[in-house]
Amino acid sequence: MPGRRGGAGDGLQGADVVAAAPDRMVVGRRREPLEETAESIEAAGGKALAVTADVARAADIEAAVAAAVEHFGSLDVAVNNAGVFRGGAPLADLTEEDWHTQLGVNVTGVFLALRAEIRQMRTQPSGGAIVNIASTFGAHTRHPGAAAYAATKAAVSVLTRGAALDHIREGIRINAVSPGAVDTPMSLQPGETDADRSARARATLPLGRVTTTEEVAAAVLHLASDDAASTVGTDLVVDSGATA
Ligand SMILES: NC(=O)c1ccc[n+]([C@@H]2O[C@H](COP(=O)([O-])OP(=O)(O)OC[C@H]3O[C@@H](n4cnc5c(N)ncnc54)[C@H](OP(=O)(O)O)[C@@H]3O)[C@@H](O)[C@H]2O)c1
């Protein structure tokens, strides 16, 4: 409900989720997965609004925030989850197009979303909470073939800290979650099946398995909730122990 900071998000399914549970707006570029996510929220008893937007375009994300406020009355929680990975090859073999795509979505997209969300939240007596999805590939670890992606995710962690300092006195709490390998297609290596990934995780991760989207969502929910009222500008690692 608007005004309740219960949390937001559907794990890593939607690109960008705004408004607090049980009323949620899901944002992404493709209509079909958004409709599916909205239907699953409604089937679970919540209210949902699906809005198509490209987070790399200021007008799109500003319109999405306006739609959330028009529909739900306020914007209490925002989760900036949209992200893309283009890599796998050494940096010298990365195309400029892939460089700009990652920067556009992962960095500019988070900046534009933060700006639009904060401008709305600072008008609300109760402020708001924002959680950005970074990655252990940013500030916490390194992986071959991921230099550009890692740079964008390090930027998300740093943006989170800076924005948190800038806006906490306005009642807006900003934090990040840095997942390690999560059970979505993004963590599959080229040609790898889910079973291959499970075997790799058993052999290499301290926990013996990858992180689930529900576990990432639980971390987001905690940071978005009033239980985390004193947690400001942090970057919560949820990575099956990979960086322990
Ligand atoms: N999977 C992992 O192992 C892992 C690990 C660490 C961090 N992460 C981060 O977690 C987040 C979610 O990743 P994922 O694994 O769920 O990846 P995913 O399955 O590829 O989902 C990415 C989501 O972002 C949306 N998106 C991409 N570009 C967008 C744009 N320009 N505007 C709006 N929405 C956009 C996609 O929807 P549309 O295509 O419809 O726009 C999709 O919903 C990302 O930020 C990723 O970097 C993932």
| pLDDT at 27 (0 to 100) | 96
Domains of the chain (ranges plus CATH)?
A: 77-238 (3.40.50.720)
Give me the residue label for tokens 């989720």: 17
Say whether 149 is catalytic: yes
103 lines ligand 1 (CB under 6 A): no
Report whether residue 138 contacts ligand 1, using a CB cutoff of 6 Å: no
Report how far ligand 1's centroid is from the alpha carbon of 4 (Å).
Answer: 26
Ligand 1 centre distance from Cα of residue 15 (Å) = 6
For residue 190, whether the previous peptide bond is cis, meaning omega lies within 30 degrees of 0, is no
Q: With a 6 A CB cut-off, is 81 part of the ligand 1 pocket?
A: yes
pLDDT of residue 12: 31
Buried b / exposed e along 135-158 (16+ C-beta atoms within 10 A): bbbbbbbeeebbbbbbbbbbbbbb
Average pLDDT of adjacent 10-residue blocks, the chain of 244 residues? 33 39 86 95 92 97 97 96 93 96 98 98 98 96 93 98 98 98 95 97 98 98 97 98 96
pLDDT for the residue 193: 97
pLDDT of amino acid 20: 43
In 98-124, which positions are buried (b, 16+ CB within 10 angstroms) versus exposed (e)? bbebbbbbbbbbbbbbbebbbebbeeb
Whether 167 and 189 have beta carbons less than 8 Å apart is answered as: no
pLDDT for residue 154: 97
Query: Residue 22's pLDDT is what?
Result: 58
Query: What is the model's pLDDT at position 142?
Result: 86
Give the distance (Å) from ligand 1 centre to CA of residue 184: 9
